[in-house]
């Protein structure tokens, strides 16, 4: 991606502009994406936190009635890498929608139980679910929070999550989570 950016800037502007921008981009990354002004370039950076260990960073570089936007991903897995860019575009890379599924309920999965040939009494599985519903919803909430904070569940929470599901499956209860999709604009600040 970086090579594509270099080629397009040289083609659109010239080699001198690329050399200046390349040097500026190094400084921006080394300075943890702080806003700066260098010579005729005004650089603003905005971050969108994905989770505790990863962020998307939009770098806007303005000079002589031109604007270049760069979208970086910075995180524990891949370090800092360029994911996208625009040159003099009318559309900002930060104007994106994010879709999140939120668990709103847990219900008995009768279809799966029938498929697996589980012999069950509707009354028994409904009581079993009702007695465990709040714990299951809390478990999903904690697991999702752990994924958000650490970028992935810890062995302890993953094991507890899996063990609780297996415990209920062994008692004859199979269930599924009902989710609701929420759409929000990306929050670069």
Confidence of residue 187 (pLDDT cuts 50, 70, 90): confident
Share of the chain above pLDDT 90, in %: 43
Is the four-CA dihedral 160, 164, 170, 171 of positive or negative sign?
positive
The tokens for 154 are: 């810890």
The pLDDT assigned to 4 comes to 92
| Domains of the chain in sequence order | 2-95 (3.10.450), 98-184 (no CATH)
What does the pLDDT look like over 34-82, one tens digit per residue?
888 888 999 999 998 877 777 889 999 999 999 999 999 887 766 788 8
Burial class (CB in 10 A: 0-12, 13-18, 19+), 69: buried
């Amino acid at each position: 991606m970086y090579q594509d950016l270099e080629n397009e800037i040289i083609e659109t502007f010239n080699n001198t502009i690329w050399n200046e921008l390349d040097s500026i981009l190094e400084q921006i990354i080394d300075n943890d994406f702080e806003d700066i002004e260098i010579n005729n370039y005004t650089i603003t950076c905005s971050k969108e936190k994905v989770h505790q260990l990863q962020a998307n960073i939009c770098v806007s570089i303005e000079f002589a009635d031109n604007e270049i936007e760069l979208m970086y991903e910075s995180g524990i897995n891949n370090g800092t890498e360029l994911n996208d860019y625009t040159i003099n575009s009318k559309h900002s890379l930060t104007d994106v929608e994010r879709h999140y599924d939120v668990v709103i309920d847990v219900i008995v999965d009768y279809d799966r139980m029938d498929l697996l040939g589980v012999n069950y009494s509707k009354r028994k599985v409904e009581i079993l679910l009702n007695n465990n519903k709040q714990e299951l919803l809390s478990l999903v909430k904690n697991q999702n929070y752990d994924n958000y904070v650490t970028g992935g569940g810890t062995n302890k929470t993953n094991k507890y999550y899996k063990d609780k599901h297996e415990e209920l499956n062994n008692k004859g209860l199979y269930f599924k989570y009902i989710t609701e999709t929420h759409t929000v604009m990306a929050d670069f600040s």
